[in-house]
A and B are shown apart, each in its own frame.
Chain A
Amino acid sequence: MNYNFRNSPVIDQVGIEERVARFNTRSIKKQSKLQGLHLALNMIDLTTLEGKDTEGKVKQMCTKAMHLSNDIKDLPSVAAVCVYPNYVKIAKQTLKGSKVKVASVATAFPSGNSTLEIKITDTKFAVENGADEIDMVISRGEFLKGNYNFVFDEIAAIKQACGKARLKVILETGELSTLDNVRRASDLAISAGADFIKTSTGKIQPAATMPVTLVMLEAIKDHYLKTNIMIGMKPAGGISTAKSALQYLVMLYETLGPKWMSNEWFRFGASSLANDILLQLGKEQKGVYYSKDYISID
């Protein structure tokens, strides 16, 4: 295939925003709301990516990932936990025997400013410690310089280092400035071997937004129409309410269709979303809202 990322389709920002506004007019009630909330919960990558992370913090979060609530019935678990490479081992140990996967950020997260050797080492370290998924960052500086081949080669090299682990490529859309750039970076990441494309590190504002996610979903759709190959999507950062998660799911459902409606193809990178969904599910079961004190914070 001949890749020329200067020829990525153009994006009309006003059109994207109008489409998003239209998704947000959908009214999701009753059974369809329950169905959506359960799915959203099952799609969460429960995340801790702080400088002050410790083994203790990671362990507690992993316990929460497996055991979301004491008294809300028939809950799924979250999809994965997402941690720094040095906590992959403890996460893996804690989650042993559960379905929850371990995702690790790598490649000099969050800036990505390092050498390829270090990025590969970083990735391999996480994989060897048991990471099922790697969340890498692209070199935004090189991308904005128009050095697309550099970015492409880097992704391809990390993909190779991942082995069997699935690769999520973080575009850090908050630094890419235009939707045209978001589309171009999505096309680039997909052709370089990404299994998932992901909006943000969570360290830059704005993080995930619906317009940006829609542009990325369209890139995935166009790729699927051409090749029949499915790519996953992960908006991360800034999605903290059940209502907003349902709006993302409406967008996913009406853009990519039912095939993508599972945690194999869609994830929410979030730390506080799970508890808001639990509040809503609790209300559906009990008819009244819980006090937040009834839901463990991690």
Chain B
Amino acid sequence: MTNEKEFNWDYAPAPEAKDHAKIKKQYDLFINGKWVKPTGKKYFDTINPATEEKLSEVALANEKDVDLAVSAAKNTYDKVWKKMPAKERAKYIFRIARMMQERSRELAVIESLDGGKPIRESKDFDIPTAANHFFYYAGWADKLDYAFPNRKPNSLGVAAQIIPWNFPLLMAAWKIAPALATGNTVVLKPAESTPLTALKLAEIVQDCDLPPGVVNIITGFGNTGAAMVNHPNVNKIAFTGSTDVGKIIQKAIAGTTKKITLELGGKAANIVFNDAPINQAVEGIVNGIFFNQGHVCCAGSRLFVQEGVANEVIQKLKARMETLIVGDPLDKNTDIGAINSKEQLQKINEYLKIGVEEGLELHQNSCSIPTKGFFCKPTLFIGASQSNRVVQEEIFGPVLTIQTFRTIEEVIEKANNIPYGLSAGVWTDKGSKIFNLTSKLRAGVIWANTYNKFDPASPFGGYKESGFGREGGLHGLLPYLKFQDH
């Protein structure tokens, strides 16, 4: 038998249908249970990053609109929500969860259209996990006394919540679900580049007959967020986004009684030891850095490989990267979609230049990328050092730096030698080594022999410049509560 010509199997396009997804031409602000025009009468475009085509335009909320939203939230808090029995509150949250499941297909398609992430991820990860968050926190609503025995938990009032563009609907769920479960009302602002699923969530809130003003969703840029943060009737601020903005927010609320949680940047170490299950580690490295185009605050962006297996890991990683399909986010076979915005692509490209100038070996997929839209090939920087800028700074794109190490002490020191501390990964067959590392790595979440695993029941949050406060799990209730013993 002879080997005939090579069999090349290019998977035929398998696009997800999008005609069922209803996107209005224009979205107003969702305040007090109604769609209201922005007082400034201004709107801004939201585009599809994979085609650069306009999807819709959304209202730009100014200070006056923010005041309307916060006032509505406060009014409802005082008159309705605070007084409602917890088990009634829970019913509304359950209703949101179920409605999200019912509309999951539409939500997934819109999430991919507006944000550029592959439909496989929005369908299998973002939307179901978001719905699970509502389910999970709905369950806590009438059990708070048992969650914190003998401490009499009370709600805070109005929560101003500002969320990022990397997991738009999921982050909205992370913020809204625990706030409602603990009896607070919210004003939420999605990121300017990905407002659509949050606005769809507003429609769901409306359909669920939530008392008007419990959930208010307003859109805008940084100024809108600043007005929310500075509003005197806001009692709690929850922000997920860049460390720079996080610092500004913290300064702005100095001297007030506003409670705050910040979930900021990261630059996680993903550590592979000689005794690791190498093939599965390679898979974990790929999931760690290329999930959602690397737009993940807990992305495993710094790979540490023990020198005994470094060559093998790099060789296999390169081969695995070749099987990644980069392109149309709505194709069911796409592994890596579009970069979220032009600005983000520019920032990533800037870092690619810096890495090359720093003398690192750059390796990219041999695939071609679409000429229209914002795309970036999966990238490795081989032979990186602790002092390289691409190792020290958060890139927030599909770019992995690879460093080698010799001993366990060395890798712990290097992994911790960074201003961030959100997450880390450890790959080894030896359980004792895992427990040794997890107790010494300064990171809020550490995964062993896996990466990027999320569950509503598990708290998430960072050390150092990655922020403070925890979201998810029982711990995620705390930032939205005050106790009488305080």
Contacts and interface: CB of A to CB of B under 8 A. Distances in A.
Interface stretch (B1-9, B139-147, B214-222): B1-9
A35 B278 contact: no
16 contacts: A11-B280, A12-B277, A15-B281, A18-B283, A18-B450, A19-B283, A26-B332, A30-B12, A32-B9, A32-B12, A36-B9, A222-B279, A258-B7, A262-B7, A264-B3, A265-B3
Interface in A24-44: 25-33, 35-36, 39
Interface of B: 1-4, 6-14, 120, 124, 275-281, 283-284, 312, 315, 323, 332-333, 429, 449-450
A105 B278 CA distance: 34
Contacts of B13: 29
B332 A25 contact: yes
B321 to A, nearest CB: 12
A218 B315 CA distance: 14
Interface string A1-26: 00000000111101110110000011
A26 B119 CA distance: 12
Interface residues of A, number: 34
A261 interface: yes
A139 B475 CA distance: 53
B273 to A, nearest CB: 11
A14 B279 CA distance: 12
A253 interface: yes
A265 B323 CA distance: 20
Contact of A262 (B3, B276, B312): B3
A15 B450 contact: yes
Contacts of A263: 1
Which residue, of B2, B7, B14, has the highest number of chain A Cβ atoms within 10 A?
B7
A286 interface: no
B3 A259 contact: yes
A36 B120 CA distance: 22
A35 B280 contact: no
B315 A27 contact: no
Contacts of A28: 11-12, 14
A45 B8 CA distance: 23
Interface string A69-103: 00000000000000000000000000000000000
A225 interface: yes
A33 B14 CA distance: 11
Contacts of B278: 9
A264 B12 contact: no
A216 to B, nearest CB: 12
A254 interface: yes
A254 B278 CA distance: 17
